């Protein structure tokens, strides 16, 4: 028999019907709430049994079919605390350490970590937070971003109070906690610190001993010692190293020098300060130190700078961060294990030491639909035990007094004492929502000075002019 022909219309109707049916099933399935029910199902198979009864005289064949009853036992257990799924970005923890599994088992909070590079994290957070989006429930943010983000974050105090927790936590370093409150007192605390990153001045103790000098206290000391080291030992060892890539890298190396000369890149009223006596002296110092650095610093970033020190090619830098220190203390990588110490940044006479903070803080976006769960997860992640674990797994310095003095941690991370000292004089980058603009412009001109593309005078003048124009356009002076 030939198959019945199907017209196009019939095919479409049938296809449409199937699609609608499938969509309906999918919608119904999606609408239903998932409930975890333990079901005990006892199924006994239907077994035809053939019984043959033999007798001496007659043979009778009896076939019986036994159908056993199917027993279905449904045991409903109390569900308990429902599981909540959150999404976060920025440094939250490392899945390999099992921290997220532990969070789930202890709090029923499942945390999806959206890992992105630094710049992408910043961009996606700015767009999501400012637009009130619900893409993220937890935002992990670098402290210079806070002035831009605080107004888009939920207030931490009532969230913590809802659980009966105290905020601010008295065990956390107050200067670091204050980074989450900008402008001070206007919105209230909007973020909880998690990583106590502090920039520090690192130097080779063995080289200082060979020179017969005390560790440098001023930038003039640094220049003097660097000249001796480079003069005597280059190309095997150079005195100092600095980051020359434009923008954030060059600016991060330059800021402690500029502050060590007694002035910041912008003042309290956001007036640019590079083209000042102190700014010009700081730029001159950059040129001096660059000329005593290993070749190629004009295009190095964070990782390359660390490598120059742990491979034993550079003796000092004022732009060293905890993750680089860990490498310097790792025997498989480093040629300088046990020969590095850290200090507060040098400062010229009369100026303050100014180590830079690079603290990461957790916040709850206002657009999130899970404020309470996010606060609970943040509280859990920032507990001492988890911060300690992060120190071991990621070299994220803690933000708690109790851990800074922890004998076990100090034994395993000898540089932690130096970081604690650096933290005592640490200051954040200029607190303005326009800092990224200032950093890009000044960092570009500092890079040009390092590459000898611009003179010190031209770079300072152009940097100040461009910063002023850019901030005027942003309405920063009105």
Partner 1 sequence: MLNVLRRRSGGDVRAIAKTPWWETHLRFFFIAPSMVLLAVLAVFPAIMSWRMAFSRVTFKLGELAIEPIGFSNFTKAFSDNLIIGSTVRTAVWVLVVVSVEIVVGLFIAFLMSKLHSRARMVFTAALIIPLVLPPVSVGAGWLVMMDVNFGVLNYLLSLVGIEPQLWLADDRTALPSIMLIDIWQSSMFVFILMYAGILSLPQDPYEAAAIDGASPWQIFRDVTIPLLRPTFVVVLLLRTLDAARIADRMLAMTRGGPGSSTETVTLSIYKYAFIHFNFGYASALSVMFQVVLIILATFYIRRILRT
Contacting positions for partner 1 (CB under 8 A): 9, 12, 119, 122-123, 126, 130-132, 151-152, 244-247, 249-250, 294-301, 304, 307-308, 311, 313, 366-367, 436-437, 439-440, 444-445, 447-448, 450-454, 470, 473-474
Cβ distance to partner 1 smaller for residue 17 or 82: 17
Tokens found for residue 451: 């590459």
Min. distance of Cβ 439 from partner 1 in angstroms? Answer: 8
> Look-up: residue for tokens 């005593």?
292
Among 173, 117, 197, residue whose Cα is nearest residue 401: 173
Min. distance of Cβ 444 from partner 1 in angstroms? Answer: 6
Cβ distance to partner 1 smaller for residue 367 or 414: 367
Cβ distance to partner 1 smaller for residue 12 or 25: 12
Tokens found for residue 356: 């830079």
Cβ distance to partner 1 smaller for residue 252 or 387: 252
Min. distance of Cβ 23 from partner 1 in angstroms? Answer: 15
User: Rounded CA gap, 219 and 285, in Å?
Assistant: 8
User: Rounded CA gap, 345 and 260, in Å?
Assistant: 7
Cβ distance to partner 1 smaller for residue 308 or 347: 308
User: Rounded CA gap, 476 and 258, in Å?
Assistant: 23
Min. distance of Cβ 308 from partner 1 in angstroms? Answer: 7
User: Rounded CA gap, 398 and 395, in Å?
Assistant: 9
**What backbone torsions phi and psi does residue 88 show, to the nearest 5 degrees?**
-135, 160
Min. distance of Cβ 145 from partner 1 in angstroms? Answer: 12
Helices (H), 261-413: 277-291, 302-310, 322-328, 371-381, 384-394, 401-404, 407-412
In the three-class reduction of DSSP (H, G, I as helix; E, B as strand; rest coil), residue 190 is classed as coil
Cβ distance to partner 1 smaller for residue 130 or 421: 130
CB within 8 A of 86, min separation 6: which ones? 109, 110, 111, 112, 137, 138, 370, 373, 374, 377
**Strands 138-142 and 84-89, how do they pair?**
parallel
Cβ distance to partner 1 smaller for residue 145 or 415: 145
Min. distance of Cβ 319 from partner 1 in angstroms? Answer: 16
Q: Cα 408 vs. chain centroid, distance in angstroms?
A: 25
Min. distance of Cβ 452 from partner 1 in angstroms? Answer: 8
């Amino acid at each position: 028999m030939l198959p019945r022909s199907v017209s196009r219309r019939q095919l479409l109707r049938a296809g449409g019907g199937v699609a609608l049916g499938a969509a309906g099933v999918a919608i119904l399935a999606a609408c239903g709430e998932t409930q975890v029910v333990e079901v005990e199902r006892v199924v006994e198979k239907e077994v035809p049994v053939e019984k043959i009864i033999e007798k001496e005289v007659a043979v009778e064949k009896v076939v019986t079919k036994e159908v056993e009853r199917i027993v279905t036992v449904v045991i409903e257990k109390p569900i308990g605390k429902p599981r909540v799924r959150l999404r976060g970005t920025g440094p939250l923890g490392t899945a390999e350490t099992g921290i997220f599994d532990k969070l789930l088992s202890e709090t029923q909070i499942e945390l999806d970590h959206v890992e992105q590079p630094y710049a992408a994290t910043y961009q996606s957070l700015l767009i999501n937070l400012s637009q009130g989006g619900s893409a993220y429930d937890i935002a992990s943010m670098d402290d210079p971003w806070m002035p831009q983000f605080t107004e888009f974050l939920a207030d931490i105090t009532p969230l913590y109070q809802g659980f009966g927790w105290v905020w601010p936590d008295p065990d956390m370093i107050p200067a670091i906690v204050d980074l989450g409150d900008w402008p001070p007192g206007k919105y209230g605390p909007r973020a909880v610190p998690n990583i106590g990153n502090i920039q520090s001045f690192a130097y080779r103790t063995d080289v200082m001993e060979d020179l017969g000098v005390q560790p440098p206290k001023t930038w003039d000391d640094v220049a003097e010692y660097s000249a001796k080291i480079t003069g005597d030992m280059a190309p095997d060892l150079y005195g100092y190293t600095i980051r020359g890539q434009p923008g954030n890298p060059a600016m991060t190396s330059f800021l402690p020098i500029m502050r060590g000369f007694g002035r910041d890149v912008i003042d309290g009223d956001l007036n640019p300060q590079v083209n000042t006596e102190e700014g010009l002296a700081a730029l001159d110092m950059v040129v001096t130190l660059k000329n005593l650095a290993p070749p190629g610093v004009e295009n190095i970033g964070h990782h390359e700078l660390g490598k120059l020190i742990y491979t034993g090619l550079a003796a000092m830098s004022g732009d060293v961060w905890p993750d680089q220190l860990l490498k310097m203390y790792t025997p498989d990588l480093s040629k300088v294990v046990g020969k590095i110490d850290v200090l507060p940044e040098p400062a010229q006479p009369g100026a303050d030491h100014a180590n830079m903070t690079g603290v990461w803080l957790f916040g709850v976006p206002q657009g999130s639909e899970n404020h309470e769960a996010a606060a609970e997860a943040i509280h859990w992640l920032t507990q001492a035990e988890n911060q300690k674990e992060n120190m071991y797994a990621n070299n994220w310095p803690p933000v708690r007094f109790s851990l800074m003095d922890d004998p076990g941690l100090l034994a395993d991370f000898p540089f932690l004492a130096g970081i604690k000292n650096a933290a005592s004089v640490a200051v954040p980058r200029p607190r303005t929502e326009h800092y990224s603009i200032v950093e890009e412009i000044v960092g570009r001109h500092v890079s040009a000075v390092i590459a000898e593309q611009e003179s010190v005078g031209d770079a300072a003048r152009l940097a100040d002019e461009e910063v002023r124009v850019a901030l005027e356009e942003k309405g920063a002076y009105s």
